[in-house]
Amino acid sequence: MAEPLLKHKNEFLQYLAVQRNYSPNTVTAYSNDLDAMLEYLAEYYGCKISELDDEMADYLALRSYMGFLRAKGMAKTTMSRRLSGCRAFFRYLGKHELTENTAPAVVSVPKADKHLPRFLYYPEMEALLNAPDLSKESGKRDRAILELIYGSGLRISELVAINVGDIDFNAGFLRVIGKGRKERIVPVGEYSINAVREYMSARELPCVKGEALFLNNRKGRLSDRYIRKLIDKYTEQAAIKQHLSPHALRHSFATHMLENGADLRTVQELLGHSSLSTTQIYTHVTSRHMLEVYNKTHPKA
């Protein structure tokens, strides 16, 4: 018996949030991807979204959807993510015996182009870290933020979730809540610890354990968007020509660790990657850096 897709979509999102502990941002991304697929299928069949059932997501319809996305000039990585969300949805339906449709599992997309992550060289990293004005509370906060992202390889979502008390100043460790609400403990370097201490000493509001460590101008927890604007601001002040995402600081952390002799497994643990293959991209980055240094410095290069 055919099942209504719209109803099960909402059940699936609830499953991701409650049972899989996915972050609100991740659940929203899944919701947006499924909405896009449902909208296309409704147009493809000339019906309302509420009238779609699981059998209508057949091989030909999904191949047509992929062709539609390709014609729009969508990046291969985005297409792959859209289809991955669709597959996860139908795996959920199959697991709960709500469908026998296996078409999404056999629809393929072009392999995504591999892009090496952007990172900063040491002088650029130093310039960025030194950009905040330490005569102001906001400058001390921003310096602590940059030091922590780079010093411990944090994701932005992990940084904004830090509470007062998550850092053990004596042991030099930080408790982090990563993807899938997984907790990990990461080391915090001396520079980061000193920067956080300076900010906490200058903070107008008392530092109450369990409350947000980094506050915005309205004394609330910082948002991911705020951090992106902050990094754009200091990238410009430091005269760094390339556009940086907040993730570039995390990439820099991993790249510099490997360049200085860290093994891949250790970097994987520090970054909180579930798979070593995710971390292996940094070996390509360090190889490229090695070649650049060789070409610049060796007299016979």
Give the active site residue among 179, 221, 228, 289: 179
The whole-angstrom separation of Cα 45 and Cα 295 is 58
Give the active site residue among 155, 199, 251, 256: 155
The whole-angstrom separation of Cα 119 and Cα 286 is 10
Place of tokens 């990172």: 119
Place of tokens 């460790």: 173
DSSP codes joined into one string, 131-192: -S-TTSHHHHHHHHHHHHHHHHT--HHHHHT-BTTSEETTTTEEEEE-GGG-EEEEE--HHH
The whole-angstrom separation of Cα 281 and Cα 115 is 9
Strand-strand pairing, 173-177 and 183-187: antiparallel
Q: Is 59 tagged catalytic? A: no
Report helix, strand or coil for 215: strand
Q: In what order do the strands lie in the sheet containing 173-177?
A: 167-168, 173-177, 183-187
Q: Is 289 tagged catalytic? A: no
Report helix, strand or coil for 101: coil
The whole-angstrom separation of Cα 230 and Cα 236 is 10
* C-alpha distances in Å from residue 45, one per residue of 38, 62, 296, 300: 11, 12, 60, 65
Neighbours of 6 (CB within 10 A): 16
Give the active site residue among 81, 91, 184, 247: 247
Q: Is 9 tagged catalytic? A: no
Give the active site residue among 143, 250, 251, 256: 250
Q: Is 48 tagged catalytic? A: no
Q: Is 234 tagged catalytic? A: no
Q: Is 265 tagged catalytic? A: no
DSSP annotation of 1 reads -
Give the active site residue among 40, 92, 199, 282: 282
Active-site residues: which are they? 155, 179, 247, 250, 273, 282
